[in-house]
């Protein structure tokens, strides 16, 4: 899948007077995530950049020029007066003349313009600005299409005031209960996609802290790929480097059994990198319940193990569908000291995108958007930490994702509370959904979402499972093609063998913070308390699911003989 290549994710820039060079990262004194816009004005020319704020917002901006210029932050009314000649550039919220200006303004929800005027001669200008918190609706209502479903951007909106928060977790989990689904895009071939291809994407940003205070930022995607006309699905995943360099190689990122590889492509004259895995096509049947997992585990002296997992249930004769970890990826970084999936509304990634976590329906690949003639499903998005088998909802949700470039044209979301949204065909609504709280077991959530094939006994339908004392025994491991055995740990999916793991609630990380350019995270990333030994076997889930889970990560035994696609899962950027 493709990251959204809008360089400034939180404020679409309207360049109305002159063309501008592509934005580059700004490393001066502005907060992390600010961007540079480089342009030239002739004497007596002006340029303006429009933005909207969804709630009470702090906007930081600066202008650096080779000659003195006027820089103003204006309301929409003030700017309209300036254009009409009934007001001056000094009639503004903030106004400065000079070669190096920096200003911070606090504004309410509304429309604003940053105006630069070259009054003293031809000016080469670098303008930077960033609104905080980083609300994805800061530039007003989003246009169709967008990745559609449920996502957390690390923001709670309270009566028009955005309050950012941060969650740092070792696991992100997405659940999808699908009753009907049919996708079609007549122009899919342009992006190399199947006309009836689509994806469900669980996406999150991974932070790897290093000795000496440095860090790396990666984007992880668990993206089962469906072809609805053929009723086939293949498990797939991607990993991208969101750090400044963007570099990956088959030495810095490896997968167990060489399941996936790092590839390159050219975009805007630059070489880009991504890791990709694409599994074997299998048949699926509706109704279908599918739970997606991504886990990150620090491996001292080696780096970080990132695991991609899946668990499915079906109805009738198909209810013993299998699941497990289908790709085990190692980021080689011997200096790594901790790793966690970060969701926060008070920072942007080094390349200017959101620290969001999203579970969305979207097109198949390379920035494709698709339409749906049928869609009836429920989605749930949660997080957990390595010592807990319970799941927590994010404190708040939106009805769309942003970091991925694939999208859907015609899906409508209805929030049910508790981190669950119902999705159907209809007029898209890209909105803030609301808040959530609580602690849940996966079985509780699967039942709430109506997963098919769950037990019908009274113990599973009329009683709430214990959140603090589940105990289970698993006997699993994974062996690479080279004959070596890899032992890993996670409380949600386990690849360890002959181990008894006591599961308890807690271990979550959700920190409320004030509206500022800093944030705090509590990275509770301790490993599960268990004794690990290894033998041959397959992944198992250490808690009780609705169906018995065994075998490799396939949806049914009806394999297709060949992989449907070998092309890179990255393509042209979506225009800003």
Among 486, 512, 538, which residue terminates a domain?
A: 512
Check residue 158 and give its pLDDT: 85
367 sits in the region (left: phi over 0; alpha: psi -120 to 50; else beta) called left
Residue 352 has pLDDT above 50, yes or no: yes
Q: Are residues 333 and 207 in the same domain?
A: yes
Residue with tokens 């995108």: 353
Q: What is the pLDDT of residues 213-229, one digit of tens each?
A: 889 999 999 999 999 99
Provide the token pair at 206. Answer: 């991974």
Check residue 396 and give its pLDDT: 98
Check residue 297 and give its pLDDT: 96
- Using CA of residue 242, residue 248, residue 252, residue 258, what is the dihedral sign? positive
Cis, peptide link before residue 293, omega less than 30° from 0: no
Confidence of residue 55 (pLDDT cuts 50, 70, 90): low
Burial class of residue 395 (count of CB atoms within 10 Å of its CB; 0-12, 13-18, 19+):
buried
Mean pLDDT of 415-440: 97
| Residues in CB range of 459: below 8 A, 6 or more apart | none
Q: Is residue 138 part of a domain?
A: no
Q: Is residue 386 part of a domain?
A: yes
Residue 19 has pLDDT above 70, yes or no: no
Among 512, 528, 561, which residue terminates a domain?
A: 512
Check residue 506 and give its pLDDT: 29
If you ran DSSP here, which 8-state letter would residue 510 be given?
E
When comparing pLDDT for 425 and 164, which is higher? Answer: 425
If you ran DSSP here, which 8-state letter would residue 451 be given?
-
Provide the token pair at 182. Answer: 């049919």
Report for 437-441, 470-474, 494-498, 567-571: range of highest mean pLDDT: 437-441
Check residue 432 and give its pLDDT: 95
Q: Is residue 520 part of a domain?
A: no
In whole angstroms, how far apart are CA 503 and each of 309, 325, 394, 441, 473?
19, 19, 21, 11, 11
Check residue 265 and give its pLDDT: 80
| Residues in CB range of 346: below 8 A, 6 or more apart | 132, 133, 134, 154, 164, 166, 513, 515, 516, 517, 518, 519
- Using CA of residue 85, residue 90, residue 95, residue 97, what is the dihedral sign? positive
How many folded domains does the chain comprise? 2
By residue count, the chain amounts to 576
Mean pLDDT of 119-146: 86
State which residues form the domain around 472.
148-512
Confidence of residue 184 (pLDDT cuts 50, 70, 90): very high
Provide the token pair at 40. Answer: 């030239």
Residue 244 has pLDDT above 90, yes or no: no
Query: For residue 35, which of 10, 56, 67 has the smallest C-alpha distance?
Result: 10
Confidence of residue 70 (pLDDT cuts 50, 70, 90): very high
Residue 230 has pLDDT above 90, yes or no: yes
Residue with tokens 């279908």: 288
Mean pLDDT of 157-185: 93
Check residue 456 and give its pLDDT: 58
Q: What is the pLDDT of residues 77-98, one digit of tens each?
A: 999 999 999 999 999 999 999 9
Check residue 458 and give its pLDDT: 35
Percent over 90 (pLDDT), the chain: 53
Q: Is residue 545 part of a domain?
A: no
Q: Is residue 369 part of a domain?
A: yes
Check residue 225 and give its pLDDT: 97
Check residue 461 and give its pLDDT: 31
Q: Are 178 and 288 in contact (CB under 8 A)?
A: yes
Check residue 475 and give its pLDDT: 29
Q: What is the pLDDT of residues 531-565, one digit of tens each?
A: 222 222 223 333 322 222 222 222 222 222 222 22
Q: Are residues 101 and 154 in the same domain?
A: no
Q: Are residues 121 and 246 in the same domain?
A: no
If you ran DSSP here, which 8-state letter would residue 418 be given?
T
Check residue 502 and give its pLDDT: 23
b/e map 6-18, b = 16+ CB within 10 Å: bbbbbbbbeeeee
Among 512, 543, 561, which residue terminates a domain?
A: 512
Mean pLDDT of 498-523: 28
Q: Are residues 128 and 171 in the same domain?
A: no
In whole angstroms, how far apart are CA 146 and each of 252, 382, 426, 429, 484?
32, 21, 14, 10, 43
Q: Are residues 164 and 234 in the same domain?
A: yes
Q: Are residues 374 and 492 in the same domain?
A: yes
When comparing pLDDT for 509 and 309, which is higher? Answer: 309
What stretches of 154-242 adopt beta strand conformation (E)? 155-158, 161-169, 171-184, 197-210, 215-222, 225-227, 232-234, 236-241
Q: Are 210 and 333 in contact (CB under 8 A)?
A: yes
Check residue 563 and give its pLDDT: 23
Instruction: Tell me how far the alpha carbon of residue 348 is from its chain's centroid.
Output: 12
Mean pLDDT of 282-290: 93
Q: Are residues 299 and 383 in the same domain?
A: yes
Q: Is residue 492 part of a domain?
A: yes
Mean pLDDT of 443-457: 84
Please name every residue paired with 474 in a beta bridge, in sequence order, or none if there are none.
Answer: 499
Query: For residue 73, which of 56, 44, 51 has the smallest C-alpha distance?
Result: 51
When comparing pLDDT for 571 and 269, which is higher? Answer: 269
Q: What is the pLDDT of the chain when averaged over all its residues?
A: 75
CATH number for 71: 2.60.120.380
Confidence of residue 386 (pLDDT cuts 50, 70, 90): confident
């Amino acid at each position: 899948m493709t990251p959204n290549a809008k360089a400034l994710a939180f404020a679409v820039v309207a360049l109305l007077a002159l063309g501008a060079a592509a934005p580059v990262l700004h490393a001066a004194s502005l907060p992390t995530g600010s961007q540079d816009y480089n342009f030239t004005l002739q004497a007596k020319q002006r340029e303006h950049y429009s933005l909207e704020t969804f709630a009470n917002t702090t906007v930081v901006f600066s202008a650096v020029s080779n000659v003195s210029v006027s820089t103003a932050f204006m309301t929409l009314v003030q700017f309209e007066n300036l254009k009409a000649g009934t007001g001056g550039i000094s009639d503004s919220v903030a106004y400065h003349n000079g070669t190096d200006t920096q200003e911070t303004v606090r504004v309410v929800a509304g429309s604003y313009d940053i105006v630069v005027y070259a009054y003293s001669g031809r000016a080469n200008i670098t303008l930077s600005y960033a609104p905080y918190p980083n609300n994805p609706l800061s530039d007003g209502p989003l246009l169709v299409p967008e990745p559609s479903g449920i996502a957390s951007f690390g923001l709670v909106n309270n009566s028009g005031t955005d309050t950012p928060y941060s969650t740092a977790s070792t696991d992100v989990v997405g659940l999808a209960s699908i009753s009907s689904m049919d996708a079609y895009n007549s122009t899919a071939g342009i992006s190399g996609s199947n006309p009836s291809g689509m994806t469900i994407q669980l996406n999150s940003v991974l932070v790897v802290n290093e000795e000496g205070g440095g860090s790396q930022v990666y984007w992880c995607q668990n993206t089962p790929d469906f072809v609805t006309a053929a009723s086939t699905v293949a498990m797939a995943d991607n990993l991208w480097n969101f750090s400044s360099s963007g570099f990956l190689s088959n030495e810095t990122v490896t997968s167990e059994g060489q399941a996936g590889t790092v590839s390159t492509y050219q975009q805007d004259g630059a070489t880009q990198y991504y890791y990709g895995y694409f599994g074997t096509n299998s048949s699926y049947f509706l109704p279908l319940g599918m739970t997606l997992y991504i886990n990150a585990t620090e491996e001292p002296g080696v780096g970080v193990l990132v695991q991609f997992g899946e668990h499915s249930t079906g109805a009738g004769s198909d209810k013993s569908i299998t699941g497990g970890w289908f790709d085990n990826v190692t980021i080689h970084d011997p200096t790594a000291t901790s790793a966690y999936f970060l969701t926060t509304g008070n920072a942007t990634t080094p390349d200017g995108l959101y620290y969001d976590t999203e579970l969305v329906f979207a097109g198949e690949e390379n920035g494709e958007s698709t339409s749906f003639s049928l869609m009836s499903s429920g989605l749930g998005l949660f997080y957990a930490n390595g010592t807990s088998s319970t799941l927590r909802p994010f404190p708040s949700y939106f009805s769309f994702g942003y970091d991925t470039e694939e999208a859907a044209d015609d899906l409508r979301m209805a929030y049910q509370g508790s981190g669950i949204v119902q999705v159907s065909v209809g007029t898209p609504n890209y909105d803030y959904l609301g808040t959530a709280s609580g602690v849940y077991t996966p079985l509780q959530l699967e039942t709430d979402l109506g997963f098919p094939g769950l037990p019908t006994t009274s113990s599973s339908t009329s009683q709430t499972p214990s959140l603090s004392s589940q105990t289970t025994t698993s006997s699993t491991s994974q062996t690479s093609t080279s004959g070596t055995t890899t032992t890993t740990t996670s409380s949600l999916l386990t690849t360890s063998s002959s181990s008894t793991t006591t599961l308890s609630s807690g271990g979550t990380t959700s920190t409320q913070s004030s509206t500022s350019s800093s944030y705090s995270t509590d990275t509770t990333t301790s490993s599960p308390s268990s004794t690990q030994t290894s033998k041959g076997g397959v992944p198992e889930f250490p808690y009780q699911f609705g169906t018995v889970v065994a075998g490799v990560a396939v949806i049914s035994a009806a394999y297709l003989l060949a992989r449907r696609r070998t092309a890179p899962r990255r393509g042209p950027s979506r225009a800003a």
